[in-house]
Amino acid sequence: MARVYVGYEPYGLDKIDDELIQFVFDVVVSLTKLHTGSEVGLILTTDRQMQKLNKKYRGEDNSTNILSFAYTETTPEEFRDVGDKHYLGDIFISRTRLKKDAKEERVSDKEKFVHLFAHGLLHLAGIHHHGVRETAEMEGLEDKVIELVLSA
């Protein structure tokens, strides 16, 4: 069974709980070629922490709403545990930025969370937005995840 390891205290959001987080992951797993035993880490944090991570790992000295770090990208092969073969990586989401973006886009925090988490999961699944076609594919999948999760 796919599993999400969550770290969000004290940065949790109303109506975002472990059950919703797991459901979003399960939907993404079902729409992609991810293994049903896939695992991912999710951390809800502050803009300040996001800026530090973005600067350290991406070379950009600003905050962002989401960062995804593939396990294979951050852990050299010789240090990977054999039991971790289905661990995809970690997703960091800025609680502050999520709330700001939701307000600007006139959507609920829940909808924005589902969008951002799905976006990060798709990156960890190897789906990116480098060109027009890839962007359209990724956005289509994000829309499908939002639709399936919010209509449940």
Sequential pLDDT tens for the chain (152 residues): 677 878 766 667 778 888 999 999 999 999 998 888 899 999 999 999 999 999 988 899 998 999 998 876 655 555 556 556 788 889 999 999 999 999 999 999 999 999 999 999 999 998 888 888 988 999 999 999 999 999 98
Q: What is the per-residue pLDDT for 11?
A: 66
Q: What is the per-residue pLDDT for 131?
A: 85
Q: 115, 124 in Cβ contact below 8 A?
A: no
Which own/partner contact pairs does 60-64 have at CB distance under 8 Å and 24+ positions apart? Answer: 63/94, 63/97, 64/94, 64/97
Q: What is the per-residue pLDDT for 152?
A: 83
Query: CA geometry: angle at 146 spanning 151 and 44, to 5°?
Result: 120
Structural domains for the chain: 3-150 (3.40.390.30)
Q: What is the per-residue pLDDT for 123?
A: 92
Mean pLDDT across the chain: 87
Quote the CA–CA distance of 133 and 147 in Å, as a whole number: 21
Could you tell me the two tokens for 1?
Answer: 């069974």
Q: What is the per-residue pLDDT for 112?
A: 96
Biggest CA-to-CA distance, the chain: 46
Q: What is the per-residue pLDDT for 51?
A: 94
Q: pLDDT of 96-114, one tens digit each?
A: 999 999 999 999 999 999 9
